[in-house]
Amino acid sequence: MPESKSRKKKSAPAEQAAVPAKAKAQGNPRWLVPTMLALMLVGLAWIVLYYLTAPGLGLPIPALGGWNLAVGFVLIIAGFGLTTRWR
């Protein structure tokens, strides 16, 4: 059975096949790792400071009370959230 001419695949010219597509540069933005580490360390320091000074001085923010733990954990979770963007 003869084949239809419209079904035949056209071959790509040699000029177009030889030029490779430019790949986007893969890597981290410069701010990612320092920001990630800073958020995790500040969150940890916030919680430690709250536990060490809560009975006496009322630091870091006395008006928050037990919510100081939530602030510390939110900072740590934000740092871990940035680790998902790390390549």
Tokens of 76: 């740590």
Report the half-sphere exposure of 10 (CA within 13 A, side-chain side): 4
**16 falls in which pLDDT band (50, 70, 90)?**
low
Place 36 in a pLDDT band, splitting at 50, 70 and 90: very high
Residue 45: what pLDDT? 95
Residue 31 confidence (pLDDT):
94
Model-level pTM? 0.66
pLDDT digits (tens, 9 = 90+) for 49-80: 988 887 777 778 888 888 989 999 999 999 99
Q: In the chain, which residue ranges form alpha helices assigned H by DSSP?
A: 14-18, 32-53, 67-83
Distance CA 65, CA 31 (A): 32
- Which residues touch 72 (CB under 8 Å, ≥6 apart)? 43, 44, 46, 47, 50
